[in-house]
Structure 1
Amino acid sequence: MAEQPHGWRVVVIANVMPIAEALIAQLEEMGHDVVAWMMQRRPRLRELPPPPWGETTDKTAPQGVNLIWVRDKADLAPLLRGLEPDVLFCWGFSWKIPQEALDVPRYGAVNQHPGLLPRHRGPIPLSWALREGDPVFGITWHRMDADFDTGPILAQSSVPILDGETTMFETGPRMVPAALALLPQVFERLAAGDPGDPQGTEGATWGGMLGEDYATIDWSTQTAREIHNQVRAWTYSFGMGPVPGPFAELDGKRVKVTRTLLTDPGDGSPAIETAEGTIWVLETEPAD
């Protein structure tokens, strides 16, 4: 591997504090200067309960890093110009960043997408990997361009999908380190002026939000694995999308199924015989 660059001015854009903290720590360990961490300011979030990791404030943000709340994506370009970054790293940010902003960093803007691009472009690639029965969750660092998840690829990896993991809080501790381990390769290619590998159209898929067509469980026609993946796909979507799900009939009642396993947990959870195999229903919520 070529000699790694050091001392670059880096701006991180991320909405999830644990991810931002891990990325910032790794960048600083690699000898770079993280000059700012940007987050979206979305008024509707004030109506929701605090996230599991707590509220992000100046006191909880990594020390020595400017925390900038961005009100509108039109503000990104002028803010970045003032920061004069060498590179922008984006991880878990829902806005389409304007080209004007992407053009500011000297070495470009890079995004971390949890899918093996060009497969599973879109906002919830983990859910679509589960829905389609993929064996792995993908990890891709790619240059950012004017569209979602279409820029040239700089580095890729993957982690196996494990049957026993039912939430992102279980899978994340495997995926985040795997993504961070690719950063030396990313920096090497950036420093060399490598444009990255074009994605092309072969194998490209787009996975939007889950909808009504995937919101109902049928114990009699679906296999245990299909149902387990369906339940997890909804969980890994973090409730985003136009409709809730998935729903099923259980003991004569319509419920929302939120957690299942393919092996007996030994806690008395209901065991349901499906079209193929047994599934254990650990957690449900009232449908109404």
Structure 2
Amino acid sequence: MRLVFLATGDIGLPSLEALIASKDHELVAVVTQPDKPVGRKLVLTPPQIKVRALEAGLPVLQPEKIRLELDALKALNADVFVVVAYGQLLPASVLNIPRLACLNIHASLLPRHRGASPIQAAIREGDFASGITIMWMDEGLDTGPILLQHETVLQPDDTGGSLHDRLAAMAPAALAEALALISSGNAPKIAQDHDLSTHSRKLERAHGKIDWSLDALRLERLIRAYQPWPGTYCLIPTKNGVQATLKIHSAHVVEHSDACPIGGTILSTDGHLLMACGSGVLELREVQLEGRKRMPAAEFVRGQGLRAGDVLS
């Protein structure tokens, strides 16, 4: 079959590699988002999807609005559009272009965690499993019928980064199975139970601010879920009396006998950094003060003069 691959996020790279190497299908073009300014110097940077596609000699389209590229898309004569983390909703005028289907590779077990941040949501909400869903696309947000799903059990130390990479690696096999089913004419269309759906919003840095009134287990999951993006942080008092941002890279729930009614209170700095939460105690293990290097929390507290009883906001 003739395929067009629409992707922007790095989660699509293993699937792109598989389609480039495929002997069963012909990848005729790649569609991705326009190059964007990156970093403090705002260097115009292409998506890695584009970089790899050009290395493979594939035509690349980068429309600001895909609905304005209908003629170019139609000229590709595609049987199937394969979409993963593309970054634009596809209108009906685009969905109707391929001869057989528009398929979406979604990083959750739909209908749970529709939307922009399903990987982080699965860890944050304490799900038992996540996975890859291959879905027939419609005009809704991840609402189309399910073709198939591949599942993975979440591990106690999974982070947003580790789960992202595992799901990215799972996607090519799921996609190959889905394309084989379409080629054979036996691909199922399983309607989603919309009553079971949840929505995961697009994440921004502000969503990583720690609310110490939450229980320790929920905060531990949130810290793992938001590592490396958008990250988690709180504010701490410094020696000159100004508050600074403290990034929290890892933490662990611990048993502790001291009760404290105020979440955010430091319970101990004796070789570690123990924080009172709304319920339970969290040990911060790896932290990073703004403008400084990442370091073990025990090393950090020695240089900051923090004491038991101090309250972090």
TM-score by length of 2: 0.72
The match for 1:272 among 274, 295, 302 is 274
- State the Cα deviation string for residues 21-73 of structure 1 (Å, max 9, x = none): 4213212325211111111116556974677x986666873413212222222
Which structure: larger Rg? 2
Note if contact 2:54-2:60 (Cα within 8 Å) is conserved in structure 1: yes
Q: Which has the higher contact order (CA 8 A, sep 6+)?
A: 1
Which of these residues, 163, 171, 189, is aligned with residue 156 of structure 2? 163
| Separation in structure 2 between the aligned mates of residue 90 and residue 109 of structure 1, nearest angstrom | 7
Structure 1: gaps (5+ residues): 1-7, 240-244
Q: Residue 152 of structure 1 aligns to which amino acid in structure 2?
A: P
**Does residue 283 of the first structure (1) align with residue 296 of the second (2)?**
no
Aligned partners of 1:251, 1:127: CA distance in 2, in Å?
29
* TM-aligned CA distance change 1:278 to 1:89, over 3 Å: same
**Identical positions, percent:** 23
1:122 is displaced (CA, Å) by 0.8
Check if 1:144 corresponds to 2:143.
no
Partner of 2:70: 77
Deviation sequence 1:197-238 (CA, Å, 0-9, x none): 111313111122358996543446521x321222233346x4
User: Judging changes above 3 Å, is the alpha-carbon distance between structure 1 residues 102 and 55 closer, same or farther for their aligned structure 2 residues?
Assistant: closer
Runs of 4+ in 1 over 6 A off after TM superposition: none
- Residue aligned with 1:83, SS: coil
Go from structure 1 to structure 2 and tell me whether the alpha carbon gap of 1:100 and 1:179 turns closer, same or farther (over 3 Å shift): same
* 3-state SS in 1 of match to 2:131: strand
Change (3 A) 1:165 1:271: farther
Deviates more, 1:128-137 or 1:269-278: 269-278
Matched, 1:207 2:189: no
Contact kept in structure 2, 1:140 and 1:157, CA below 8 Å: yes
Name the residue aligned to 1:248: 234
d(CA) in 2 for partners of 1:106, 1:55: 28
- Deviation for aligned residue 1:93: 1.1
The 1:164/1:48 distance shift into structure 2, 3 A limit, reads: farther
Give 3-state SS (helix, strand or coil) of 1:40's partner.
coil
Give the 3 Å change call, closer, same or farther, for CA 48–285 of structure 1 in structure 2: farther
Alignment counterpart, residue 84 of structure 2, candidates 88, 91, 107: 91
CA deviations 1:131-168 (Å, max 9, x no partner) are: 21112223111011111100110111222333334342
- Give me the whole-angstrom Cα distance separating, in 2, the residues matched to 1:248 and 1:260: 13
Contact 1:166 1:260 in 2 (8 A): no
Aligned equivalents of 2:206, 2:165: Cα separation in 1: 31
TM-score, normalising length from structure 1?
0.78
